[in-house]
A = this chain, B = another copy of it.
Amino acid sequence: MELFQDRGYVETTVQEIAARAGLTERTFFRYFADKREVLFSGSKELQKSIIARIESAAREAGPLDVVVGALEAAGAELQDQRGLSFVRARYALVTQHAEIQERELIKLAALAVGVTRALHARGVAEPAASLAAEAGMAVFKIGFERWVNERKPRDFAAHIREAAVALKALTAGNKVHARQTLSRPVKKSISR
């Protein structure tokens, strides 16, 4: 983080990072798959924590509530462990470099897969499990952004909760039959 903030992400070479740690470039790549991975050290543990919370959630709770609840808890964990200022510095890096953002997104996608599996284990059927997982990621993402960009910092968990409420309002507010009919020219069918 020091090097990235001083010299910039692209300018910082892996060799420099390794040297700062008193190691060699080759050794760096034995611990991190690539340069970006060094920014995702805690992610595996965070995912595990979330999955564990889903597994141990109350039986009666609905899938989306279970997911959102787990994310709230994990969010609080993150807030406590790393602190807002660190998270903000890292967030700046992520937003400034598409390269890093890509990694962040695939981590989130992997989390969604894990969450989906955990929901399956609870007996949630299929489109519901994936949708709850993905919707949870959306809620997390938006809650996160609002938390980080806020001038007067509030609780991360509160933001997640708010986003979840907003999502429910959104989907509730629209009737299924309010869908517009779209004029799609009929072309050849799929065939094959």
Residues of A at under 8 Å CB distance from B? 53, 57-58, 60-66, 68-69, 72-73, 76, 79-80, 83-85, 98, 101-103, 105-106, 109, 123-128, 130-132, 134-135, 137-139, 141-142, 145-146, 153, 155, 157, 161-180, 182, 184, 186-188, 190-192
Contacts and interface: CB of A to CB of B under 8 A. Distances in A.
Q: What's the number of copies of this chain in the assembled complex?
A: 2
B69 A180 contact: yes
Nearest to A126: B191
Centre residue among A79, A126, A139, A182 by max chain B CB count within 10 A:
A182
Given A134-B142, A171-B168, A176 B161 contact: yes
A134 B133 CA distance: 12
Contact of A171 (B64, B182, B187): B64
B163 A127 contact: yes
Contact of A167 (B135, B139, B141, B191): B135
A174 B102 contact: no
Contact of A102 (B102, B135, B138): B102
A190 B62 contact: no
A76 B58 CA distance: 41
